[in-house]
Structure 1
């Protein structure tokens, strides 16, 4: 078998992948099966979120159990997170096989040691001013493997599962020009989103927010009908907590990890077209 290994590091951009040869792939896949997949709701917040192993073809010397597991994992992948020894090995392989920017390489240093997020006690949410704000329903996204893997933060913020890892401006012909506020926000405006100074005025639709990992990636949050905010980091589960495990009452002030640049609150609605 050969194995496609996806590094889960980005939220908006597609994640990078590399391929391992048969000998290395079979050994790694068997060890991954022994560790077991990450919990469906496991998260480290924004940034590094482990690896997804995507088998490409069967191997001749795999035992029957591994062959069965391979069949189950072939389409959707086996995600590893919370297994430090194996993650450390995979990070080393990623650094060897992928051309990663110094910023991403620095973010990967000891990333496997970061504990999974444990949610802190709930807080009082602000009033929701979006008249059509979606209900916070993470299971709808997280419990469908195809939907989970193929939709990102922009899909989630706009409450549309296109299964295309949607990119701002792709549907409207105004692609992103750079990983900065000025490089991403105009593309979202082209799709139909409208910038807002705050999220305290009543409005049709609902509020979202754009943040940037400078020169590296973009990320979106959305305000739900309960007034608090939630998000979907890339192809990983929907969560309503920040990188410190706190419920999000304002994306401008929450712990966002490497996504240090807050761009703007924006307003979206069900008529916005994304792809």
Structure 2
């Protein structure tokens, strides 16, 4: 991927300056090295895409917890692991979207042998990697969510999904492609907290706190039209540098699709 000449803030990807979440790599057949900065455990994962096949070590700061709550309830999700008094910095938007805390800053597809590269940091690839982790593609409009939900549970007289067990929840995937000033691109996920009308969503921006507001402070009622704009600050604030540029670098995350996260069968790392 493009090597950034400055520090960026990411929602999904682990920043190059984030030493707490950098993987270690070894040859095929060798054990992942006992090499880490802070994490008490290094989880070995075999990567096949992109080749060559090799073992990588994923720093893990606490055992994985799978959430069992419904609705917007950050203090109770995954035993409170999304909160700052526990493991908030080690769980990103993908962890929150899946309601699973691997405490590894998990990446789509990594548990199934994929590493995201510049060539795969796009909607089709990220959604495909998520499918390999156990998520299910739903569609690109709220009507697709309703249709999908109706197939999984009984509907109410108002043609809305009833209160029966849906057996999972919906998420939305947003993509920010690579762009100016060496911005390498990123992804973001939002989670649906309302299984009846699908008009209440929440999200976790990287290692930040969970919130039900978008990046502009608006309640998230429809992630496809929410504000996912990030000001990364001056392109080059150092006046002594030949590429000095005081203009702000603005990056946009655009809605790509909706997916479904089953209550069981999803594995992320």
TM-score (norm 1): 0.53
Q: Structure 1 residues 242-251 or 218-227, which shifts more?
A: 218-227
- Does 1:214 find its partner at 2:177? yes
Match of 2:126 in 1: 184
Residue 175 of structure 2 aligns to a residue in which SS?
strand
Match of 1:173 in 2: 113
Whole-Å separation in 1 of the counterparts to 2:255 and 2:126 = 12
- Does 1:137 find its partner at 2:73? yes
Whole-Å separation in 2 of the counterparts to 1:158 and 1:144 = 19
- Does 1:200 find its partner at 2:146? yes
Structure 1 runs of 4+ aligned residues shifted over 3 Å read: 141-146
User: Do 1:133 and 1:205's aligned partners in 2 also have CA atoms closer than 8 Å?
Assistant: no
Higher relative contact order (CA 8 A, sep 6+): 1
Structure having the higher strand fraction is: 2
Residue 146 of structure 2 aligns to a residue in which SS?
coil
Whole-Å separation in 2 of the counterparts to 1:261 and 1:243 = 12
Whole-Å separation in 1 of the counterparts to 2:16 and 2:123 = 22
Match of 1:16 in 2: 16
Cα distance change on mapping 1:249 and 1:133 into 2, 3 Å? farther
Whole-Å separation in 2 of the counterparts to 1:223 and 1:243 = 16
Cα distance change on mapping 1:8 and 1:143 into 2, 3 Å? farther
- Does 1:247 find its partner at 2:193? no
Match of 1:230 in 2: 202
Structure having the higher helix fraction is: 1
RMSD of aligned Cα (Å): 2.9
CA drift of 1:176 comes to 2.8
| Unaligned segments of structure 2, at least 5 residues | 1-5, 21-37, 40-67, 153-166, 179-184, 230-250
CA drift of 1:263 comes to 1.2
Cα distance change on mapping 1:255 and 1:133 into 2, 3 Å? farther
| Unaligned segments of structure 1, at least 5 residues | 1-5, 20-51, 53-74, 77-131
Match of 1:25 in 2: none
Cα distance change on mapping 1:143 and 1:213 into 2, 3 Å? same
Whole-Å separation in 2 of the counterparts to 1:239 and 1:8 = 21
TM-score (norm 2): 0.54
C-alpha distance after superposition, 1:49-99 (max 9, x if no partner): xxx9xxxxxxxxxxxxxxxxxxxxxx79xxxxxxxxxxxxxxxxxxxxxxx
Whole-Å separation in 2 of the counterparts to 1:150 and 1:8 = 17
